Structure 1
Amino acid sequence: MTTTAPIPLTILTGFLGAGKTTLLNRLLRDPALADTVVLVNEFGEIGLDHLLIEAVSGDMVLLASGCLCCTVRGDLVAALEDLIARRDEGRVAPFRRAVIETTGLADPAPVLQAVMSHPYLATRYAIDGVVTAVDAVNGDATLDMHAEAVKQVAVADRLALTKTDLATDPAALAALKARLRRLAPGARILDVAKGEATAEALLDAGPFDASAKIPDVARWLNEEAYRDAAGHEGHHHAPAGEGQDAHDVNRHDEHIRAFSFATDRPVSMAALDMFLTLLPSAHGAKILRMKGIVKTVESPDRPIVVHGVQHVLHPPVMLPAWPDADRRTRLVFITRDLPEDFVRKMWDAFAGTPRIDEPDAQALMHNPLAIPRGDG
């Protein structure tokens, strides 16, 4: 088994016309992306002619920047495995980072799953975050009309706002930013036209800081941001004065919820394992992302990092120490049609938190599929 440190893997997504290919072209000129492998869905969609220096084999080309680009026309897993084999055998340079650009209509969750669920790839690649490009001019209408666009934003660690220089209505731009913050409260919004979307700002977004091998809690586990976005009811209605209709469910992305909770009470490894097994098994399709850091009874000074997408859980990692002064369990969820109260009650049931009623705890432990009435 290899002992090589896993390669950071960034997912670059965004709806059709959002400008992600232009953003990628710009990033590839940054020295920070030297020795990077880039996988794109259709090679012809990306204008890299001026960067090409030679064809490698099949669908792969070597770029002047030192990047290697290959098309993902078939199996993503096979492409990622092939790249690792070429790297290990010395047939390509020992790249230090990988970027996957999805198609504009793609749900990024299966791409994340492809890496996280594969027993070999999960040891060779580490998900380094999701970057989503959003069109400042057409983004609001796109979110209204396309569920894929909503999911692309909701799972993002970074939001690259493109074409702000073409946005002529400041109020509309402000409303779009507010909507993005409600959908992805833990994500940083970076203005591409202002030069904010640099490689340094977009990369190393989590869930792991590859250089230090610890989670970057300050960047990807922002409890306060999720709490502020959820409000008292856990919904994503626009605040008064934003010029939006609070009763327009589609416009306000009512199905998508982002929330977090924290507790000082440690949980046993057995209870954590049961929670991480049963919740995705019963409701995995509704869990767009789950991430967190957990204090256990057995090793309170060595927290467990967890990260999941839908039915797939990345192998939990035990850290040598807490990465910051906050030594609480902190869990973040981005869900679709799965209420916060249900997830909290399920956690309390397995963690043994006193505030949950014993009958509720027993019911949830025996039947995790049963979402209580009134919870969404």
Structure 2
Amino acid sequence: MTEPQRRPDPIPLTVLTGFLGAGKTTLLNRMLRDPALADTVVIVNEFGEIGLDHLLIESVDEDMILLGAGCLCCTVRGDLISTLEDLLRKRDNGRIQPFRRVVIETTGLADPAPILHALIYHPYLVMRYRLQGVVTVVDAVNGEATLDAHPEAQRQAAVADRIVVAKADLAADAGSALRQRLGNLNPGATIHESDVPAADLLGGLFGLESKGEDVRAWLGAEAVEHHHHGHHHHDVNRHDAAIRAFTLTSDVPVPRASFDMFLDLLRSAHGPKLLRLKGLVALSDSPDRPVVVHGVQHVIHAPVELDAWPDDDRRSRLVLIVRDLDPSFVESLWDAFLGRPRLDSPDAAALMANPLAIPGS
């Protein structure tokens, strides 16, 4: 009797984003020279925008070229989903060399949400790829003005797991005011200089070698929690003051039905305001095997169960990044579903009387 064929491990995938002129091309070129990116596929929107000519070796087909670093580079002429599926077909039938990871470089004007949607809800892609992280490049010289003028730039920074500040050597005070603003906008993200090793940008929970440090870095929960409960008063003159990051926690395992209902209610009622959600949750029917959950706007990935806790912290931790949504409302909803209503909340009475009647935020 033949053994059933084992499904291959998911391929880690990183999204590289940042506003026009932020320095994505320069960072990508430097990353491609790093041995950490060997056997990588780089997906870009248009070759003409990104200037990889000095790295090109040969054309594989009309949409794909081989780079000197041993990486493949392909262009998205149509749908990203079709491109990712086509890569898998070519890999599976031996038409291209096996690759170990994928980096998607977005256009500078892109809102990352549709790309993240595709990566976490498509039933086939979700089996074969695993979102490892979002890296956002911010220009130290023009970054603050860009954040003021362009909501896309705010969202790019808000959903990042890692932020790279480029051109810091050209900025007054090395961009310290910008760093503080980015820290307020997304306290859970780690902020790096542009000479950061490629391996530091590509690690994370969704690598094939998850460790406790990866989980903590991916969640960023401690930084978000400190920021939210410490110094979270925003300057009302800041254009991005509507974006907030905060954590929900539970020291006791969460009933699965309550957790599912909480996510469903939050997504259906406030999906467009939910820029990013990610977490590690202990469910009461299997508290020793936590689930990883992540989502963007109205799309929430089916939770993935881990074999064991990655470290000694057994609390459930959910990190949320929201726009135009009061964190205290979401906290009240969480507490109500966990059976610990906060009576000091103006929404608590309504939630206890009817959890489906969500008051406006």
Aligned residue for 1:104, secondary structure, equals: coil
Displacement after TM superposition at 1:2 (Å): 6.3
1:1-376 mapped onto 2 (5 Å cutoff): 3-167=7-171, 169-170=172-173, 173-192=175-194, 195=195, 197-206=196-205, 208-212=206-210, 216-231=214-229, 234-235=232-233, 237=234, 246-250=235-239, 253-355=240-342, 359-363=349-353, 365-368=355-358, 370-371=359-360, 376=361
Displacement after TM superposition at 1:52 (Å): 1.5
Amino acid at match of 1:229: H
Aligned residue for 2:22, secondary structure, equals: coil
8 Å CA contact 1:156–1:187 kept in 2: the answer is yes
**Separation in 2 of the partners of 1:21 and 1:222?**
27
8 Å CA contact 1:290–1:334 kept in 2: the answer is yes
Displacement after TM superposition at 1:324 (Å): 0.8
Deviations 1:80-131 (A, max 9, x none): 0000111111111110000000000000111010111100001111001000
Change (3 A) 1:215 1:351: farther
**Separation in 2 of the partners of 1:143 and 1:59?**
33
8 Å CA contact 1:214–1:319 kept in 2: the answer is no
Displacement after TM superposition at 1:355 (Å): 3.8
Aligned residue for 2:43, secondary structure, equals: strand
Amino acid at match of 1:32: A
Structure 1 residue ranges without an equivalent (≥5): 238-245
Displacement after TM superposition at 1:361 (Å): 2.9
Structure 2 residue ranges without an equivalent (≥5): none
Change (3 A) 1:131 1:363: farther
**Separation in 2 of the partners of 1:292 and 1:327?**
12
Amino acid at match of 2:127: T
**Separation in 2 of the partners of 1:33 and 1:201?**
11
8 Å CA contact 2:256–2:283 kept in 1: the answer is yes
Percent identity for Structure 1 against Structure 2? 59
Displacement after TM superposition at 1:47 (Å): 1.9
Change (3 A) 1:342 1:234: farther
Change (3 A) 1:138 1:48: same
8 Å CA contact 2:251–2:315 kept in 1: the answer is yes
Aligned residue for 2:119, secondary structure, equals: helix
**Separation in 1 of the partners of 2:213 and 2:293?**
10
**Separation in 1 of the partners of 2:204 and 2:218?**
7
Displacement after TM superposition at 1:353 (Å): 2.2
**Mean CA deviation greater in 224-233 or 67-76:** 224-233
Displacement after TM superposition at 1:338 (Å): 1.1
Displacement after TM superposition at 1:45 (Å): 1.5
**Separation in 2 of the partners of 1:108 and 1:360?**
35
Deviations 1:244-271 (A, max 9, x none): xx33141xx1110001122212211111
Displacement after TM superposition at 1:64 (Å): 1.8
Amino acid at match of 2:156: Q
Amino acid at match of 1:258: A
Displacement after TM superposition at 1:281 (Å): 1.5
8 Å CA contact 1:115–1:125 kept in 2: the answer is yes
Amino acid at match of 1:220: W
**Mean CA deviation greater in 317-326 or 82-91:** 317-326
**Separation in 2 of the partners of 1:72 and 1:213?**
33
Aligned residue for 1:201, secondary structure, equals: helix
Displacement after TM superposition at 1:224 (Å): 2.8
**Separation in 2 of the partners of 1:249 and 1:165?**
25
**Separation in 2 of the partners of 1:132 and 1:63?**
23
- Using structure 2 for the length normalisation, give the TM-score: 0.93
Amino acid at match of 1:329: S
- Using structure 1 for the length normalisation, give the TM-score: 0.89
Deviations 1:36-82 (A, max 9, x none): 00100111112222222211112111112111111112100000000
